[in-house]
Chain A
Amino acid sequence: MDRMLDLDEDAFQHPTIMDDILPEDFLNDDEPLGTLWTRLDSDQIIYQPQRRKATMVGKYLKGETLGEGSYGKVKEVLDSENLCRRAVKILKKGRLRKIPNGEQNVKREISLLKRLSNKNVIQLIEVLYHEEKQKMYMIMEYCSGNLQEMLESVPEKKFPLWQAHMYFTQLIDGLEYLHSQGIVHKDIKPGNLLVTTDGTLKITDLGVAEALDYFQEDDICKTSQGSPAFQPPEIANGLDSFHGFKVDVWSSGVTLYNIITGKYPFEGDNVYRLFETIGKGVFTIPDTGDPSVEDLIRGMLTYDPVKRLKIQQIKHHNWYRKKISRTTEYVMPPPLPDSDDPLRCMTVIPYLEAFHCGEEYDEEEEYEDGEFFVEQPGPSGQGAAQQPGTPSPKLKDKKSKRKKIPVRKFTFGSCKQQ
């Protein structure tokens, strides 16, 4: 079982071979690439729905994979102490080294996230390390999906106006906070905007973000690693330095254009063509039925960064301040692959069943409350025994009279069929 899982992860270790083949790669970064490989794996190689094995990362119990980034998998986890759903970004050191600036970007992202706290910026709960496995686990808030996935789940690839407005205002609020902290995100795009179960937008992926120096007087930046389709003309034209905050305004403008029309303002067959189109800065807006949003998009996609709208100007724009009443049209985060659960219930539950009920009935052994001997790839390492819940003292006494049977490994969710 272990080896099979490893195989599955090894398959992601060489994503670079596809780099120059897929046009989406530069349009939408790395997500489609990952998804492609996932499907291949789960359909043909190892997909076995019956097999569940409970694994822990520290106090967190692992569930299903939520998504796939360039650095590694994102899985759902359950905090066994307060039963809160979380997401874990699993980073493999070996894989990070193969990505240009990989380790450096991750370090920067962690240091930035640690000092940020805003409703519309993803919260990093904690970071766990596993030296032996050379893995790093970033525990984050749980989100049910990103805007890109949601857009792709509907044929017209766009949101109803009220929903786009709801997300856009939150994006600007989050961005205002980031800028107030002297941080330029540099990679705003639907794929980096997550949505929680209650529809709150969270800006994520600060891997290529830049924290301005405290004593820097302006927002001049010199490097950019963001997704090409969302880059402003000054970067497309290869300028040495540019205004950082205005880069984020431009990418937010492209994002707004994208979630409202379902299209991109600038397109090209490859990065060079794309940059050429962006460099000219000429685009058209399909009819949206709302002239004020078109005006806002034009303001945000102004060629000259100096004349481009500032965050404060966006917040004073009529469309931003407008109240758009909710219609029945609503794009939900799509169910996970291989699942048809639109409510996005906990995927940890089958693992929990394996954890609590696994095997001991096969062996006709009595269930033991407080004792969990589980292979534990936590930060403490050594696969030590883990006690996720402590039984009440009263109970401990009573139980200790009985024979203690440690439940060693859980592989099958056998006791309760779904």
Chain B
Amino acid sequence: MSLMQCYCSSKKSVPEADIEEPLYRKPRSRRESPSWSSSSASDRASTSSASNYNMVDFRPRPEDYQIFTVIGHACNEQATISLAKHIPSGTHITIRRINLEECDIDFGILQHEILASKQFAHSNILPLYSAFIHNKELWAVMPLMGYGSCRDLVCHAQFTEGLPELAIAFILRDVLQALEYIHAKGFIHRGIRASHILVSANGQVRLSGMRYMLDTIVGGAKEHVVHDYPTTAIKSLHWMAPEILEQNMAGYDNKSDIYSIGITACELANGCVPFADMPLTLMLLEKMSGTTPRLLDNTTVPDYIMEENQNMEGGTDSGILRDSEGNSRGDTIKYQRIFSSHFHEFVESCLKRDPTERPTATDLLSHSFFKQVKKKSTEAYLPNLLIPVQPLTDATKLPKDDSAVGSLVDRLKDTDLGEQWSF
């Protein structure tokens, strides 16, 4: 019953996205309970802290929204992300606009993204308040995520060599909570990467990037393995598990998302994506031959340098460290820092070549790596760990009219949002 109430309240806000509540929702585990098992919509709103977004009725009417400025691009630069205000409630939100006549994205994929997003209600998943078409443009109304994506954070001058381990633990724990929920509902995300992990100004971590979400429940029965290859997900290929790329008869399952978690962990910790420095075909070859990326710190960088030297002589190519050589400052940081053995072990278990050897999202949540963040809320700690990065804007400090946009734009330059926002 409580589920139905939650659903009804969200359905009311978006009348055009009429989605049947799936019947296969499983009883939720203890860990997820705060946001869900609450008996009324108001309880739920209070747990998904800081804002009353869930209580606001976001209608599919363009006149309800005042668009301020473009803060980023998504979907191969074909979508613009704008800062906007929802006039009836005065809340600040972001709107993603895609010109449907000019973009080459298959409309079915966009439709799928919207339908998938509407099926999820979890405090760590980016909600979609409303979606509608206005003047050839598809508008998607979403909350404002002040820190942008984790990719943006890693691009910030302070963190080019990676985020601190504690911050990563908070981020990954919340992402895994979202993933556990997604997997329990029978979906495979297929697009987990730093640019799809968004952080709000108050430190909430939310997973987005639902475009390549795959429903494994067909005709009421869960498929054990799936074979669908996401041909349009070119930008996510580096994060994809070898068994997806392999496209053989064995297929893949939701363990492929765990591999992506491992790659994302490396991305957050090292500041760069493993395999990013090589052509896609070579990346494929490396993944097939079982090359596993590692966290770069005092324990592994010397190994790498030795390996690299051996490679020069021996003629085998690990192909991982190329981006760190020649970059002396980065090398020093990587050489000096030490990640905990739990973190190393966490990444190693995620990146196992054999998917059956990888732990599930639920297993990972009880991994010793997350001991350091146990019973600590992300909102309370994460913003402090991200200093000096300033969140894009605080909902309270936003300009009330157009005249203030100029100063905001200046502030945007400081926050360095050059990278794309991938919602």
Contacts and interface: CB of A to CB of B under 8 A. Distances in A.
A153 B96 CA distance: 53
Given A82-B231, A198-B228, A343 B280 contact: no
B256 to A, nearest CB: 14
Contacts of B345: none
B2 to A, nearest CB: 35
Interface string A268-282: 000000000000000
B281 A198 contact: no
Given A82-B231, A353-B285, A342 B280 contact: no
A389 B317 contact: no
B288 interface: yes
A258 to B, nearest CB: 24
B179 to A, nearest CB: 24
Interface string B271-288: 000001111111011001
Interface in B244-291: 245-251, 276-282, 284-285, 288-289
B323 interface: yes
Contact of A332 (B228, B249, B281): B249
B232 A82 contact: yes
20 contacts: A80-B280, A82-B231, A83-B280, A198-B227, A198-B251, A332-B249, A343-B248, A345-B248, A349-B285, A352-B285, A356-B282, A356-B285, A361-B315, A388-B279, A389-B279, A391-B277, A391-B279, A392-B276, A415-B317, A416-B316
Main DSSP-derived SS at the B contact region: loop
Interface of A: 61, 78-85, 142, 144, 196-198, 332-333, 342-346, 349, 352-353, 355-357, 361, 367, 369-370, 372, 388-392, 394-395, 398, 415-416
Contacts of B248: 197, 343-346
A346 B246 contact: yes
Give the most central of B232, B247, B276: most A CB within 10 Å.
Answer: B247
A206 B281 CA distance: 33
A184 B220 CA distance: 34
Contacts of A367: 317
Given A82-B237, A367-B317, A389 B247 contact: no
Contacts of B386: none
Contact of B315 (A355, A369, A389, A415): A415
B106 to A, nearest CB: 11
Interface in B322-356: 322-323, 326
Contacts of B289: 416
Contacts of A370: 279
A197 B247 contact: yes
Contacts of B316: 415-416
B226 interface: yes
B1 interface: no
Nearest to B279: A389
A78 B282 CA distance: 12
B229 interface: yes
Nearest to A353: B285
Nearest to A370: B279
A367 B315 CA distance: 10
Contacts of B315: 361, 415
Nearest to A198: B227
Given A83-B245, A197-B249, A342-B249, A391 B278 contact: yes
Contacts of A391: 277-279
Contacts of A390: 279
A397 to B, nearest CB: 10
Contact of B234 (A82, A332, A357, A395): A82
Contact of B277 (A345, A369, A416): A369
A125 to B, nearest CB: 9
A407 B289 CA distance: 22
